[in-house]
Every structure is written in structure tokens, then in C-alpha cells.
């Protein structure tokens, strides 16, 4: 089998997982055609580990896209650099696998969507959380219980110390909860309800700044931007969703891979909490509550591995995966609608945003 040649954009942070775990797993199906990172030391260290020649290493992505012959690029830079990489890939007719979010602004998302449509290239957006055992199990349970009335999601992490959330940019940028975290949860609410968001409203805030001084809310000074969000939304399937996001959680944690979900369905309620056990709650004919545990799904590939497998399958002629850019823009629209809803204290028409962005 001919190997798919990958131009890797970014070698630090999450890219390390892609390079050293995910792509290593698929080394019989892909190889590195080039590496890019503005951090030259990290770039060379990665290249040496992988046996990639220094002539295929670049600190400037434009030069890399000009010189490297690759089948696809894998973009794992901070979100504000995704649009540049996508536009360069489109100019070369190169297929794209990009980390979420599509971009750090709605304008960037729309620009990326339109560039990809115009160039006719493939673009898959990483939504690895859809493919974890706990979420696959939750979704299967939900699908066995008929129509969904409403879905609740809680994400709560204690990032009150500087750099607690991995990279500095997340503590320094505006809207980091929305752009770096909630995009996963909004995507999950679409995934679980099987619906697209119609409208969304709610609040995004920083509990120190809202009181006029970081000192008035302990721990809030670890972030320059908004740390919290509470939103409600309607889906086109008749379901309603609610979302609680907290990066300053002082109590129970529902952090990464431990988020709380409760889906109220006509045939019962499904609950998933930090213990990772999916439980179905039902009322017996006598009116008592019965709770049963659902056996955990075990897919061949989980999380990021599933995304890597989907991309390679697609490049090799398989079907387009669920989170292609033309679909995932609907999840990204929700996070920018949330930012707008909070800024304008209004209900935002998410469906209209997507229609305007994707009209030919």
C-alpha cells in the first residue's frame, strides 16, 4: 500500500501525541514528508527522533507548503494559526486534518470553510471526544431510549494556578473556555442529541473582572479572559440542551474525559459522571426507580486514534467521516454564538449563522 505523506504543522503540545502515539500506530499507512514549528529546538529534536532530514524541517509554514510534496497536512498549532495553514494547504491542493477549533474567530472559521470548498480538498476536524469509550457507550444508551427531551453537560476543571491548563495561550487569550474547551462540549451535545443547534443564549464571564478586580474572586487571576459559561440551546430535533463550563472549579471536578452528561429521554434518563459508568435510570410500573449500568463499548480505535484512522481511511478512498469541516462548522458556530450571546445579552440564531457562512 502506498503510504500517505504527511506535512506536520506543529510538533509541541498535542502534536506530540499525534506524532509519537497516533501516527506511530499507523506507520504502515503514513509517513512524515516534513515538519514545521516556530520552535526550532523542538522541531529538530522531533525530526531526529523520527529520522526526518533537517532539509524537511521548517520554522516558516509558507516555505514548508511551497517546498514539501505531501498528501495531507496535520495542523496542531494554536487556533489563531489554523487559517494560514489551511489557506496554504488549499493553494497546494493538499488535504487537511486539523485540530479543533476550526479557528479562533468565526470569521476565521468561515474563511477556512470557503477556502476548502473552493479548493475541493478534504478537511477533517479533530473531535476526538466523540470516540472515547464513555461517550460511545453513552450515545448507544441514548439511542436505545427513544426521543430526547433535553441534554445537560457539565465541564468543571480547577485551573486556578497559572499554566494549570497546559499552555500559556489558554490563560492569556479572550474566550479560552469557549474556544479551547466548550467547542468539544457543544460538539458533544450535537453528537448526543443528533441535532443541529437552532438558537443559543446565556452568559460567559470572569468572576474577578465581573466584580471589578481579580482579587475579589480568589484564583481568577490565573486567566486574563473569561473562565465561565452557562448556556441553553435548542436543537432542530426538538431537543433542548444546557451547558455549564467552569475553569475555576473549587468543588467536584468534571474535567477532561470526566465531564458530566445527563440525557432525559422518553424511555428513561442516561447519566454519565466522573466515574465513567453509564447508567440508565427508569421508573418501574410501581413508580420505583431502577438503575442499570450499561456495558462499556470498546472500539478498535479510541479518541485521537479514531480520528487518525478516519483520516487515513478517507484519504484511501473511504467515506467522509462525521466531523468534516462542512459539518463541524455547525459545532464551531455554537461557540461563537455563545460569545455573541453573552456580549449582546441576546438569543443568537445559530442556524442563520451557519446558513450565511455556507451559502454558495
Ligand X SMILES: NC(=O)c1ccc[n+]([C@@H]2O[C@H](COP(=O)([O-])OP(=O)(O)OC[C@H]3O[C@@H](n4cnc5c(N)ncnc54)[C@H](O)[C@@H]3O)[C@@H](O)[C@H]2O)c1
- Interface with ligand X in residues 266-325 (CB under 6 A): none
Q: How far is the CB of 64 from ligand X (least distance, A)?
A: 9
152 makes contact with ligand X (CB under 6 A)? no
Length of the chain: 360
Question: Using CA atoms, how far apart are residues 307 and 323, in angstroms rounded to an integer?
Answer: 9
Q: Which of 200, 219, 99, 224 is nearest to 157 (CA)?
A: 219
Among 77, 132, 222, 310, binds ligand X (CB under 6 A): 77
**What cell does 44 get?**
529538530
Size, binding site for ligand X by CB under 6 A: 26
Among 65, 81, 231, 261, binds ligand X (CB under 6 A): 81
Answer yes or no: are the C-beta atoms of 274 and 158 closer than 8 Å: no
Q: How far is the CB of 9 from ligand X (least distance, A)?
A: 6
Among 7, 33, 36, 86, binds ligand X (CB under 6 A): 36
Nearer to ligand X, 10 or 245 (CB): 10
Nearer to ligand X, 160 or 171 (CB): 171
Among 22, 47, 52, 61, binds ligand X (CB under 6 A): 61
Q: Which of 126, 228, 247 is nearest to 187 (CA)?
A: 126
34 makes contact with ligand X (CB under 6 A)? no
42 makes contact with ligand X (CB under 6 A)? yes
Task: Give the interface segment with ligand X, choosing from 22-30, 76-84, 130-138, 325-333 (CB under 6 A).
Answer: 76-84
328 makes contact with ligand X (CB under 6 A)? no
157 makes contact with ligand X (CB under 6 A)? no
φ, ψ of residue 342 in degrees (nearest 5): -70, -40
Cis amide linkage into residue 178, ω under 30° from 0: no
Task: Give the interface segment with ligand X, choosing from 33-41, 153-161, 281-289, 293-301 (CB under 6 A).
Answer: 33-41
* CA distance to 232, 315, 322, 332, per residue, from 29 (Å): 43, 10, 21, 30
Nearer to ligand X, 38 or 274 (CB): 38
Question: How buried is residue 205: exposed, middle or buried, by Cβ count under 10 Å (0-12/13-18/19+)?
Answer: middle
Task: Give the interface segment with ligand X, choosing from 49-57, 71-79, 115-123, 135-143 (CB under 6 A).
Answer: 71-79
62 makes contact with ligand X (CB under 6 A)? no
Q: How far is the CB of 319 from ligand X (least distance, A)?
A: 22
Among 25, 44, 78, 198, binds ligand X (CB under 6 A): 78
* CA distance to 20, 42, 64, 241, per residue, from 11 (Å): 10, 7, 14, 36
Q: How far is the CB of 101 from ligand X (least distance, A)?
A: 6
* CA distance to 24, 40, 206, 265, per residue, from 10 (Å): 16, 11, 30, 42
Among 33, 56, 79, 279, binds ligand X (CB under 6 A): 79
Crossing angle of the two packed helices 183-193 and 325-344, in degrees rounded to 10: 120
**What cell does 177 get?**
473556555
Among 37, 95, 264, 297, binds ligand X (CB under 6 A): 37
Nearer to ligand X, 180 or 259 (CB): 180
Q: How far is the CB of 97 from ligand X (least distance, A)?
A: 11
Q: How far is the CB of 22 from ligand X (least distance, A)?
A: 11
Answer yes or no: are the C-beta atoms of 202 and 342 closer than 8 Å: yes
Binding mask 101-140 for ligand X (x = CB under 6 A): -------------------------x-x------------
* Interacting residues toward ligand X by CB under 6 A: 9-15, 36-39, 42, 61, 76-79, 81, 99-100, 126, 128, 166-167, 169, 180
Amino acid at each position: 500500500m502506498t503510504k500517505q505523506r504527511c506535512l506536520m504543522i506543529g510538533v509541541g503540545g498535542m502534536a506530540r501525541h499525534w506524532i509519537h502515539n497516533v501516527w506511530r500506530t499507523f506507520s504502515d499507512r503514513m509517513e512524515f514528508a516534513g515538519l514545521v514549528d516556530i520552535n526550532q529546538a523542538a522541531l529538530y529534536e522531533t525530526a531526529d527522533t523520527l529520522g526526518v532530514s533537517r532539509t524537511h524541517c521548517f520554522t516558516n509554514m509558507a516555505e514548508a507548503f511551497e517546498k514539501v510534496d505531501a498528501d495531507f497536512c496535520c495542523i496542531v498549532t494554536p487556533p489563531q494559526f489554523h487559517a494560514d495553514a489551511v489557506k496554504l494547504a488549499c493553494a497546494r491542493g493538499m488535504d487537511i486534518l486539523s485540530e479543533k477549533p476550526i479557528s479562533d474567530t468565526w470569521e476565521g472559521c468561515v474563511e477556512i470553510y470557503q477556502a476548502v470548498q473552493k479548493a475541493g480538498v478534504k478537511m477533517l476536524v479533530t473531535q476526538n471526544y466523540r470516540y472515547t469509550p464513555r461517550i460511545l457507550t453513552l450515545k448507544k444508551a441514548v439511542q436505545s431510549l427513544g426521543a430526547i427531551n433535553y441534554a445537560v453537560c457539565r465541564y468543571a476543571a480547577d485551573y486556578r494556578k497559572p499554566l494549570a491548563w497546559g499552555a500559556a495561550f489558554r490563560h492569556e487569550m479572550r474566550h479560552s473556555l469557549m474556544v479551547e474547551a466548550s467547542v468539544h462540549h457543544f460538539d458533544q451535545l450535537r453528537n448526543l442529541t443528533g441535532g443541529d443547534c437552532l438558537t443559543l443564549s446565556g452568559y460567559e464571564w470572569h468572576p474577578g473582572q465581573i466584580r471589578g478586580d481579580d482579587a475579589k474572586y480568589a484564583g481568577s487571576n490565573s486567566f486574563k479572559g473569561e473562565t465561565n459559561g452557562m448556556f441553553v440551546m435548542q436543537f432542530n430535533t426538538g431537543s433542548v440542551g444546557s451547558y455549564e463550563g467552569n475553569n475555576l472549579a473549587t468543588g467536584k471536578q468534571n474535567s477532561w474525559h470526566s465531564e458530566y452528561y445527563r440525557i432525559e429521554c422518553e424511555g428513561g434518563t442516561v447519566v454519565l459522571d466522573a466515574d465513567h459508568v453509564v447508567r440508565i435510570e427508569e421508573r418501574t410500573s410501581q413508580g420505583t426507580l431502577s438503575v442499570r449500568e450499561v456495558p462499556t463499548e470498546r472500539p478498535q480505535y479510541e479518541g485521537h486514534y479514531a480520528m487518525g484512522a478516519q483520516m487515513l481511511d478517507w484519504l484511501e478512498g473511504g467515506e467522509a467521516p462525521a466531523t468534516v469541516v462542512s459539518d463541524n462548522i455547525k459545532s464551531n458556530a455554537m461557540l461563537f454564538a455563545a460569545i455573541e450571546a453573552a456580549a449582546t445579552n441576546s438569543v443568537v440564531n445559530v442556524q442563520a449563522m451557519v446558513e450565511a457562512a455556507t451559502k454558495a
